[in-house]
Amino acid sequence: MTSDDWRYSEDRMKLRGSCLSVLLQKYGGINLDLNSPYTTKDIYECVDTWISQGNKRTDGIVAYFNAYFNSDYVRRT
């Protein structure tokens, strides 16, 4: 099955994987628990939004995540 949607092109899917890798390395794993200010769902939604907005690189995704998905970070700034 192929899609004509540019968000799911081969290049964008590779970028999606790279973005997930960046965010999961920084915020995933043992950092996620019941008291975490964000969830795995937040990480995946951030990547989806990042890709859908037409970004072509991972540069800036950590700042974007903190600004829009990491409620603890937003409260501190």
> Is-above-0.85 flag for pTM?
no
Helices 40-52, 10-27: inter-axial angle, 10-degree rounding: 140
Over residues 19-24, mean pLDDT: 95
What is the pLDDT, as a whole number, of residue 3?
65
What is the pLDDT, as a whole number, of residue 1?
46
Whether residue 70 contacts residue 37, with contact meaning beta carbons closer than 8 Å, is answered with yes
What is the pLDDT, as a whole number, of residue 52?
93
Query: In a 3-state reduction of DSSP, which class is residue 70?
Result: coil
Q: What angle do CA 26, 9, 64 make, to 5 degrees?
A: 30
The answer to whether residue 56 scores a pLDDT higher than 90 is yes
